[in-house]
Amino acid sequence: MTNEIITYYSKTPPNKFEMRNFTIRYKEENRSCSDTIEIFLLIENNILKDWSFEWITSIITTATSSVFWESIVWMTLDEILQKDYNYIIELIWEEVSPRRQKSAIFWLIATRNAIHKYLQDGKNDDILSFLPN
């Protein structure tokens, strides 16, 4: 992801708002970088129809959240639950520095945990298990 794209999405994220007609709302904290994100999912027939977020996040989390949103709307919940760190690299076109990896993947962990809550499957993903070795 070029610096121009990161700057654009971090300053004008199209999906940074509190969705009114959400199916599930979920809040996740990343204590290592002090990000907190609250996501809102609109789900119909196990398909994600819309995704938005609120709260204070780092530039990289805000930017990758917006790129992520554009890519997952209309996916099934199962497809989203199969996404991992490599998916982020595909979306942003380059490797993330080790210092920024948790921020870059934070929205994915929050989304997966919201889906787990929605499915009531008893699972809870941990950010460290999704980072590259």
Taking the domains of the chain in order of start, what are their residue ranges? 3-130
User: What integer pLDDT is reported at residue 132 of this predicted model?
Assistant: 78
- The answer to whether the beta carbons of residues 85 and 107 sit under 8 Å apart is no
- The answer to whether the beta carbons of residues 74 and 96 sit under 8 Å apart is no
- The answer to whether the beta carbons of residues 10 and 59 sit under 8 Å apart is yes
CATH of the domain spanning 3-130, picked from 3.40.50.2300, 3.40.50.150, 3.90.1580.10, 3.90.1010.10 = 3.90.1010.10
Q: What is the DSSP letter of 17?
A: S
Please determine, for residue 93, whether its predicted confidence score (pLDDT) is greater than 70.
Answer: no
Q: What is the DSSP letter of 76?
A: B
Answering whether pTM is above 0.75, one says yes
Q: What is the pLDDT of residues 28-73, one digit of tens each?
A: 987 766 788 999 999 999 999 999 999 777 887 887 788 788 889 9
CA–CA separation, 115 and 41 (whole Å): 9
State how far the alpha carbon of 34 is from the alpha carbons of 20, 31, 61, 122, 131, in Å: 26, 5, 11, 26, 18
CA–CA separation, 28 and 34 (whole Å): 11
